[in-house]
Structure 1
Amino acid sequence: MQTMKKKINPLYVVLMLLLVCMTVGCSKQEDASGQSGTSTDDQSNTLVIGAYSVAKDAVGELLPKFQAKWQAKTGQTVHFQESYEASGTQARAIVGGFEADVALLAMESDIDKLVKADLVSSNWKQAPNDGMITRSIVVLGTRAGNPLGIRDFEDLTKPGVKVLYPNPKTSGGAQWDINAIYGAGLKLSEEEQGKKDPAVAKAFLEKVHENVESLDKSGRSSMAAFEYGVGDVIVTYENELLARIAKGVNYDIVVPKNTILIENPAVVVDKYADKHGNRELAEAFVAYLSTPEAQLIFAKHGFRSVDPDVFAETKSSFPTPEGLFDINYLGGWDKVRSTLYSKRGVWYQVLAGL
């Protein structure tokens, strides 16, 4: 007796193969150059980056350059998974389980959250430049031609001036903004009384905040609102305005007499980098961020370089305010957190009208 052979439909075979591929997780992921490559179970060639939103454009230019260097050194193609959020939001996400290998955040206090969660070593500031990869200052952005004649923070207290800055509960940039305004108030009290007076600084912050039009979740969101036409003046990073002007947006930059030096850190998130088996890759990337090549790219995007030679080369674009101060003028981050941003701190008193 002859055995009958059933002819298999080729379309059925293709569909089954697709089903198998979907079941076992065949996938593609994009590398920094926009090309897709097949992912594998080995995470050691995939770098997960959690960054604050303002750094997005600069990081986007840096990734393919690092990728090329890593491939030339190791023969390995590194892929990137990127997340950009307000700095405080990003820090909370990493603490909550977002497994970033590298964190680029707006300020030291957000890195401290990762240290307290046992994700980052407490000695992270032993890196070059105390772990900082960029600097900036808090400035004021106005509409083209500065129609309201804004010259300093004091002008933000005038009736009818509509001010923008983001929410310090979610945004590291906003905390720098609030620190700058509060510190400018302390500077004014020193000029008038010969000593710092926190009451004067609080009253100054209150007057500015009375004119705030909206509190967005991040510095980038605040900038987007300003570009949409909201407000007369934006309190923001100098680099944000320089980057937008470089792209053809017409704003004026006002550098206050008294303002704060911003310092932005980057770290290897030890727990996750070790878990993924890519500590060497993560450390190499963080080290690359401080190289002259990377620092020149940061400068192109409006950041002040932490490399003395690069800063000397680019300093004509970055004026130094007469009364520039740093976080230590306010007592350091621990004091700032307790004085300004604790549940009964100055900022929350201002919000509550106390």
Structure 2
Amino acid sequence: MKPSLSRLKKNMWGMLGFLLLISLMLSGCSRETATEASAAPANGKEITLVIGAYSIAKDAMADILPKFQQEWKAKTGQTVKFQESYEASGTQARAIIGGFEADVTLLAMEGDVDKLVKAGLVDKTWRDAPDGGMITRSVVALGTREGNPLGIHDFTDLTKPGVKVLYPNPQTSGGAQWDINAIYGAGLKLSEEQGKKDPAYAKAFLQKVHQNIESLDKSGRASMAAFEYGVGDVVVTYENELLARIKQGQKYDVIIPKYTIKIENPAAVVDKYADQHGTRKVAEAFVEYLRSKEAQTMFADYGFRPVDEEVLKANEKRYPIPSGLFDITYLGGWDEVRATLYSKKGIWYQVLAGI
């Protein structure tokens, strides 16, 4: 006797209900396991470290991360897996504040780490680390087409009619703030040659350069991509970014202006998330490893100026110091720079508005 249609339906719904119950049980176990794994102390066989970095660090990280994995495995027997995110520095900082749970961050400038401090994610003592919390240095440089067809030698050449200039937007890119700081600071240095340090002269100089802007991109990496696609005559960027692209086969002439700024790039443990994930021990070890001679040598191979003095000395021929090099203190420090250049009525926004 064949079962009735109603009985078949009851059996079908019963089976579906049973399968749904099993699915929910398995799902619950999976979520519990994932939660336990993220909160587990660094003594299991495997741990995941989430890295939130600025875009220009990506190439060097491709070599550095596997080396750290090997070292940590040899020391502890534990396997480190990495989840990586690379964005413009300002964008990355906002993402972490917005809920991207990075255990460690590498950013373009200390101001972006300070945003994480204000958000309660990074401890205010992060600068107490060696070298003030910095892991790499660089300088703002100029990249031209191979052979430097327009004869670009300094920031003053960027003010000439017809020179098409690229640099990223300082609203999204920490690298762009270094670029603008360098140009504005060069204007201050030029004004000193004429008798006094004159902010009005420096602003006018920045305006002249910006009048030749061809592309205002999201990040330093985006500016490089546009330049390599054929946009513009000269790109204002990190020296290390140019050297890294040359290493990969791109054709550039690298110009180091007489007056340019020393860039310093920080790394820090994102304390709140590292503690939540149970990754503090490995996160602190990773940031410490970034200052090791091995990691500093790899950074140098990718065009960064090392913070380790021995590694820097070993690479001094590759990284000459321009005669007019200045640092952020020449501009009054980051607090002064943020107030005078990047506030809502600051110099940079006046330049954008043509005021």
TM-score calculated relative to the size of structure 2: 0.89
237 and 21 in structure 1: CA distance in 2 versus 1, 3 angstrom threshold: farther
Q: CA deviation at 1:24?
A: 5.2
Give the structure 2 partner of residue 174 of structure 1. 176
- Tell me which amino acid in the other structure corresponds to 2:125: N
CA-CA distance at 1:196 after TM superposition: 0.9
Output one character per residue of 1:223-267: Cα deviation in whole Å (capped at 9) or x when no partner.
111110100000000001111111221110111000000000000
- Relative to structure 1, the CA distance from residue 48 to residue 351 in structure 2 (aligned partners, 3 Å threshold; closer, same or farther) is same
Letter in 2 for 1:113: K
Residue in 2 aligned with 1:135?
A: 137
Please list, as runs of the form range in 1=range in 2, the aligned pairs for 1:10-21 lying within 5 A after superposition. none
Q: Secondary structure at the match of 2:120?
A: coil
Residue of structure 2 equivalent to 1:51? 53
**d(CA) in 2 for partners of 1:264 and 1:207?**
28
Unaligned runs of at least 5 residues, structure 1: 1-11, 28-37
- What are the equivalent positions in structure 2 for 1:74-113 lying under 5 Å apart? 74-113=76-115
Match of 2:222 in 1: 221
| Gap runs ≥5 in structure 2 | 1-14, 41-46
Aligned to 1:337: 338
- Which residue of 1 is the match for residue 3 of structure 2? none
- Is 1:158 equivalent to 2:164 in the alignment? no
**CA distance in structure 1 between the partners assigned to 2:101 and 2:143 by the alignment:** 36
1:307-334 deviation line (CA, Å, top 9, x unaligned): 0000000111111111000000000000
Q: 1:280 to 1:158 in 2, by over 3 A?
A: same
RMSD: 1.8
In 2, the alpha carbon distance for the partners of 1:25 and 1:150 equals: 63
Q: What's the secondary structure of 2:276's corresponding residue?
A: helix
CA-to-aligned-CA distance 1:93-113 (integer Å, 9 cap, x gap): 111111111010000110110
* Identity across matched positions, percent: 71
Deviation at residue 41 of structure 1 after TM alignment: 3.6
CA–CA distance in structure 1, aligned partners of residues 295 and 226 of structure 2: 29
1:33 is matched with which residue? none
Segments of 4+ in structure 1 off by > 4 A? Answer: 16-22, 24-27
How far the C-alpha of 1:40 sits from its partner, in A, is 7.5
Distance 1:238 1:274 in 2: 35
TM-score (structure 1 length as normaliser): 0.90
1:288 matched to which residue of 2? Answer: 289
SS of the aligned residue for 2:168 comes to coil
Q: Which residue of 1 aligns with 2:4?
A: none
1:72, CA displacement in angstroms? 1.1
Give CA-to-partner distance per residue, 1:267-296, whole Å, 9 cap, x none: 001111111111101000000000000000
Deviations 1:211-234 (A, max 9, x none): 000111000111111110100000
Q: Secondary structure at the match of 1:65?
A: helix
For the residues of structure 2 that align with 1:78 and 1:319, how far apart are their CA atoms?
37
User: 2-side partners of 1:41 and 1:68: how far apart?
Assistant: 25
**Distance across 1 between alignment mates of 2:179 and 2:60:** 21
1:118 to partner: Cα distance: 1.1
- Which residue of structure 2 lines up, in the alignment, with residue 209 of structure 1? 210
Measured in 2, the distance between the counterparts of 1:101 and 1:137 equals 28
Query: Shift of the alpha carbon at 1:83?
Result: 0.6
One-letter code aligned to 1:115: V
Q: Map Cα deviations across residues 107-135 of structure 1 (whole Å, 9 max, x no partner).
A: 01101101111111111111001000000
| Distance in 2 (alpha carbons) for counterparts of 1:330 and 1:66 | 37
**Secondary structure of 2:73's match?**
helix
* Shift, 1:26, TM fit: 6.0
Quote the Cα distance in structure 1 between the aligned partners of 2:271 and 2:238. 29
Match of 2:192 among 190, 193, 202: 190
Give the total of aligned pairs. 329
- Deviation string 1:160-183 (CA, Å, 9 cap, x unpaired) is 000000000000000000000000
How far apart in 1 are the matches of 2:160 and 2:209?
8
Describe the superposition over 1:25-45 as per-residue Cα deviations: whole angstroms up to 9, x where unpaired: 869xxxxxxxxxx97741241
Secondary structure of the residue that 1:208 maps to in structure 2? helix
